[in-house]
Amino acid sequence: MSCYEMIDARFGDLIDPVAFLETIHTGNRWAEGPVYFADLRSLIWSDIPNDRMLRWDEDTGAVSLFRSHVSNPNGNTRDSLGRLVTCMQGERRVVRTEWDGTITVLADSFDGKPLNSPNDVVVKSDGSIWFTDPNYGIISDYVGRKGLQEQTGCHVYRIDPLSGAITVVADDFSMPNGLAFSPDEKRLYISDSGFLTDRSAPHHVRQFDVDGDRLLNSRVFADISPGIPDGFRVDVTGNLWISAWDGVQCHTPEGELIGKIQVPEMVANLAFGGPRNNRLFITATTSVYAVFLNVRGQKYPFGT
């Protein structure tokens, strides 16, 4: 049975009609933050409430524990040297795993006060690290540690690659969530999932122009329904593959919805991977799914 919903004929050029949605693992409480390691032929993802990260081996199909007791990890990516960068919701910080396994804290506060609960992260080709900081991890003990919000709001931040200085690049979000650069890095897309906790809040993806270390010209790229947008990724032609409550929605660079990948659970995040980077890995509530596409994903900036 096809897993695709064709809304526009252009979607047909991006999918393989004989490819099907595969379940590669189940048994999570809330699967999030997938990141593909091409050099290891492995997918790593977070299982937030279970306070662990898991690893799937592409050659054997085996799933093993990658790391446990890691303070409710959420979004993951790799930097230009291939090191793992992770948002730790429970500890309110963004960290990097060095090659020897030690952990370097990249950000845990702004203006002298603890961050809320870093959610998702992406690395630009200049080495700068951009991350979102909603408060999901401090409003309950399920996916973080319930605590006081000390920041004035839920913002988007940038970490300078040379000085390590942290700056706010967007401060008008309800709940900033997933983020990704366009293939030419001239635009940054950021989802707002405020609707999840406040039905009057947004459920859309916004688009910004990138001017060095600044974001300019904010506009709504696409409203996502049903539910909310969470994490997403961009393919090499600029299409956005966006998580939603009814699966994965594919939007053109102009924001048009042209098709969907139907997934039986609410989708949280996704990542491109595989030897040709044409396999879309999908973290959706209790399970991780994968499907081969007829387009390759954009790499950010190393093998992801």
pLDDT at 200 (0 to 100): 87
In the predicted model, what is the mean pLDDT of residues 86-98?
A: 97
User: Does the structure show a pLDDT above 60 at 1?
Assistant: no
**What's the half-sphere exposure (Cβ side, CA atoms, 13 Å) at 251?**
26
pLDDT the model gives residue 75: 98
Question: What pLDDT, on a 0 to 100 scale, did the predictor assign at position 303?
Answer: 42
| pLDDT beyond 60 at 302 | no
Percentage of the chain lying above the pLDDT 70 cut: 98
Write the DSSP assignment of the chain as a string of letters. Answer: ---EEESSGGGGGTB-TT---EEEEE--SSEEEEEEETTTTEEEEEETTTTEEEEEETTT--EEEEEESSSSEEEEEE-TT--EEEEETTTTEEEEE-TTS-EEEEESEETTEE-S----EEE-TTS-EEEEE-SGGGS-SSSS------SSSEEEEEE-TTT--EEEEEEEESSEEEEEE-TTSSEEEEEE-GGGT-TTS--EEEEEEEETTEEEEEEEEEE--SS----EEEBTTS-EEEEETTEEEEE-TT--EEEEEE-SS---EEEEESTTS-EEEEEETTEEEEEEBSSPBPPSSS--
Residue type, 58: E
Cα separation, 213 vs 168, whole angstroms: 10
Instruction: Give the pLDDT score at 304.
Output: 43
Residue 118 banded pLDDT, cuts 50, 70, 90:
very high
Q: Is the pLDDT of residue 96 over 50?
A: yes
pLDDT over 70 (residue 279): yes
Q: Is the pLDDT of residue 142 over 60?
A: yes
Any idea what the Cα angle at residue 90 is, between residues 89 and 92, rounded to 5°? 60
Whether the predicted pLDDT of 112 surpasses 60: yes
Residue 295: pLDDT above 50?
yes
For the segment 176-187, the average pLDDT, to the nearest whole number, is 97
pLDDT tens per residue, range 30-80:
999 999 999 999 999 999 999 999 999 999 999 999 999 989 999 999 998
32 burial type by CB count under 10 A (0-12 exposed, 13-18 middle, 19+ buried): buried
pLDDT of residue 232: 98
Does the pLDDT value for residue 138 go beyond 50? yes
Q: What would the mean pLDDT of 237-263 be, rounded to a whole number? A: 97
Q: What average pLDDT is seen over the chain?
A: 95
The answer to whether residue 108 scores a pLDDT higher than 90 is yes
**pLDDT confidence tier of residue 17, bands split at 50, 70 and 90:** confident
Confidence of residue 301 (pLDDT cuts 50, 70, 90): low
The residue type of 139 is I
